[in-house]
Amino acid sequence: LCDIDNFSYKDIASFLSLPLGTVMSRLFRGRRLLQKQLWEYARKRGLVKDEIQH
Protein backbone atom coordinates (compact mmCIF):
# COMPACT_ATOMS: atom_id res chain seq x y z
CA LEU A 1 0.00 0.00 0.00
CA CYS A 2 2.76 2.41 0.88
CA ASP A 3 5.30 1.73 -1.84
CA ILE A 4 2.92 0.76 -4.64
CA ASP A 5 -0.18 2.88 -4.04
CA ASN A 6 1.54 5.75 -2.19
CA PHE A 7 -0.67 5.59 0.88
CA SER A 8 0.69 7.23 4.01
CA TYR A 9 1.61 5.16 7.05
CA LYS A 10 -1.27 6.82 8.86
CA ASP A 11 -3.76 5.80 6.14
CA ILE A 12 -2.51 2.22 6.17
CA ALA A 13 -2.79 2.05 9.95
CA SER A 14 -6.37 3.25 9.68
CA PHE A 15 -7.28 0.80 6.89
CA LEU A 16 -5.82 -2.15 8.78
CA SER A 17 -6.87 -1.04 12.27
CA LEU A 18 -3.27 -1.21 13.47
CA PRO A 19 -1.17 1.20 15.51
CA LEU A 20 0.98 3.53 13.41
CA GLY A 21 4.17 2.15 14.97
CA THR A 22 3.20 -1.39 13.99
CA VAL A 23 2.74 -0.36 10.36
CA MET A 24 6.07 1.46 10.34
CA SER A 25 8.00 -1.42 11.91
CA ARG A 26 6.43 -4.06 9.65
CA LEU A 27 7.25 -2.04 6.54
CA PHE A 28 10.81 -1.50 7.75
CA ARG A 29 11.29 -5.21 8.45
CA GLY A 30 9.68 -6.20 5.16
CA ARG A 31 11.90 -3.86 3.16
CA ARG A 32 15.00 -5.09 4.99
CA LEU A 33 14.05 -8.74 4.32
CA LEU A 34 13.42 -7.99 0.63
CA GLN A 35 16.80 -6.26 0.37
CA LYS A 36 18.58 -9.26 1.90
CA GLN A 37 16.77 -11.72 -0.37
CA LEU A 38 17.48 -9.67 -3.50
CA TRP A 39 21.14 -9.34 -2.53
CA GLU A 40 21.41 -13.11 -2.03
CA TYR A 41 19.64 -13.76 -5.34
CA ALA A 42 22.07 -11.45 -7.15
CA ARG A 43 25.08 -12.93 -5.36
CA LYS A 44 24.14 -16.50 -6.28
CA ARG A 45 23.88 -15.52 -9.93
CA GLY A 46 27.21 -13.72 -9.97
CA LEU A 47 25.68 -10.30 -10.42
CA VAL A 48 27.46 -8.89 -7.36
CA LYS A 49 30.63 -9.85 -5.54
CA ASP A 50 30.51 -11.35 -2.05
CA GLU A 51 32.70 -8.59 -0.66
CA ILE A 52 33.63 -5.14 -1.83
CA GLN A 53 37.38 -4.88 -2.44
CA HIS A 54 39.13 -1.55 -1.81
Residue-wise pLDDT for 1-54, tens only, equals: 788 889 999 999 999 999 999 999 999 999 999 999 999 999 999 998 876 655
Does the pTM surpass 0.85? The reply is no
- Report the pLDDT value the prediction gives residue 21, as an integer from 0 to 100: 97
Closest Cα to residue 24, out of 34, 10, 35?
A: 10
Q: What is the 3-state secondary structure (H, E, C) of 1-54?
A: CCCCCCCCHHHHHHHHCCCHHHHHHHHHHHHHHHHHHHHHHHHHCCCCCCCCCC
CA distance 43 to 51: 10
- Report the pLDDT value the prediction gives residue 45, as an integer from 0 to 100: 93
- Report the pLDDT value the prediction gives residue 30, as an integer from 0 to 100: 95
